[in-house]
């Protein structure tokens, strides 16, 4: 069911970029497709078996990929600094280019789902807002729509860990260039100008079904993130998980899979009967 990791080239930022990706259950063409968007230090491999488990529970196909700068995708050049709009560019340039290259369209019977974690959740929200007719639905895990002090504090601690512990060696198991992945993410999040970053107003354009998930013990964000999403996007369903930190798919996988599978199946059935 899960295919071997493959690579495809896309044009982005004036150059050709290699994207690492993997299909789950691609032959089940009638099943909904879920595209998985990883966190700020994540990659295809760091999802481990969660995408496959969710696809099996929900009866879906899956597409997992590493963004440029991560995993086995083209690394970020050492002199390339990401701007305040780096998540916008992933949502509005990289993801559409990848979907087009892989022949994933937005026809009524083929609109994909997005499932994003942390920065990947923010990217999913931005894509859903920019292309409101292109998605069947979205699930966002610990997304950011504004910068909180708890986020900055935890990211500062992660910077110290990268410099003083074996975190770099751990990340090297998942990234061809761990410095590309780490500093691209860490530098921009800790810029003083990034403290004012917010997508709260933009997400009001989202029209697809939306499930927003947050752990009660999330060290990178508070419940204000998904509660404010729900104020801007009235159709949002919230899942607030006790005993769960920043990574619901690792901390509470069974609860998350059950909730996400039910949400996908319910919304898919509703769309087919409308």
CA 6 – CA 9 distance, rounded (Å): 11
Model confidence at 273, pLDDT cuts 50, 70, 90, reads: confident
* pLDDT for the residue 109: 55
242 domain-assigned:
yes
Characterize the bridge pairing of strands 15-24 and 6-12.
Answer: antiparallel
109 domain-assigned:
yes
225 domain-assigned:
yes
264 domain-assigned:
yes
1 domain-assigned:
no
pLDDT per position as a tens digit, 176-223: 999 999 999 999 999 999 999 999 999 999 999 999 999 999 999 999
Give pTM, 2 decimals: 0.97
The pLDDT of 113-128, averaged and rounded, is: 98
pLDDT per position as a tens digit, 47-99: 999 999 999 999 999 999 999 999 999 999 888 889 999 999 999 999 999 99
215 domain-assigned:
yes
* pLDDT for the residue 272: 80
121 domain-assigned:
yes
Contact 144, 221 (CB under 8 A): yes
Which residues are within 8 A (CB) of 186 and not within 5 positions of it... i.e. 6 or more apart?
A: 155, 158, 159, 162
CB atoms closer than 10 angstroms to residue 152: 16
* pLDDT for the residue 78: 81
Residue in 182, 42, 34 with CA at minimum distance from that of residue 117: 42
pLDDT per position as a tens digit, 161-181: 999 999 999 999 999 999 999
95 domain-assigned:
yes
pLDDT per position as a tens digit, 23-53: 999 999 899 999 999 999 999 999 999 999 9
For the stretch 97-124, what's the b/e string if a residue is b when 16 or more beta carbons lie within 10 angstroms of its beta carbon? bbbeebebeeeeeebbbbbbbbbbbbbb
Contact 149, 194 (CB under 8 A): no
CA 18 – CA 73 distance, rounded (Å): 5
CA 23 – CA 45 distance, rounded (Å): 13
Number of domains in the chain: 1
* pLDDT for the residue 21: 98
Residue in 105, 121, 54, 117 with CA at minimum distance from that of residue 265: 54
CA 88 – CA 127 distance, rounded (Å): 8
Which residues are within 8 A (CB) of 166 and not within 5 positions of it... i.e. 6 or more apart?
A: none
CATH number, domain at 250?
3.40.50.1820
To the nearest whole number, what is the mean pLDDT of the chain?
96
| Residue 128 belongs to domain spanning | 6-273
Q: Is residue 106's pLDDT more than 70?
A: no
């Amino acid at each position: 069911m899960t295919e071997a990791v493959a690579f495809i080239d896309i044009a982005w930022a004036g150059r050709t970029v290699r994207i690492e990706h993997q299909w789950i259950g691609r032959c089940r063409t009638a099943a909904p497709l879920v595209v998985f968007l990883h966190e700020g230090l994540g990659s295809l491999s760091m999802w481990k078996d969660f995408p496959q488990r969710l696809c099996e529970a929900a009866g879906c196909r899956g597409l997992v990929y590493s963004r440029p700068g991560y995993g086995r995708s083209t690394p970020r050049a050492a002199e390339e600094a990401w701007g305040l709009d780096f998540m916008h560019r992933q949502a509005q340039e990289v993801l559409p280019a990848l979907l087009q290259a892989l022949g994933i369209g937005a026809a009524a019977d083929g609109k994909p789902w997005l499932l994003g974690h942390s920065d990947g959740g923010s990217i999913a929200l931005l894509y859903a807002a920019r292309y409101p007719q292109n998605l069947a639905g979205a699930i966002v895990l610990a997304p950011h729509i504004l910068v909180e002090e708890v986020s900055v504090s935890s990211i500062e601690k992660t910077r110290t860990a990268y410099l003083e512990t074996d975190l770099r060696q751990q990340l090297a198991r998942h990234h061809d260039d761990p410095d590309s992945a780490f500093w691209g993410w860490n530098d921009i999040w800790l810029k003083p100008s990034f403290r004012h970053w917010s997508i709260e107003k933009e997400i009001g354009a989202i029209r697809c079904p939306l499930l927003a998930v947050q752990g009660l013990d999330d060290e990178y964000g508070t419940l204000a993130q998904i509660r404010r999403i729900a104020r801007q996007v009235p159709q949002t369903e919230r899942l607030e998980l006790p005993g769960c930190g920043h990574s619901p798919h690792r901390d509470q996988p069974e609860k998350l899979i059950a909730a996400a599978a039910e949400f996908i199946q319910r919304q898919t059935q509703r769309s087919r009967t409308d």
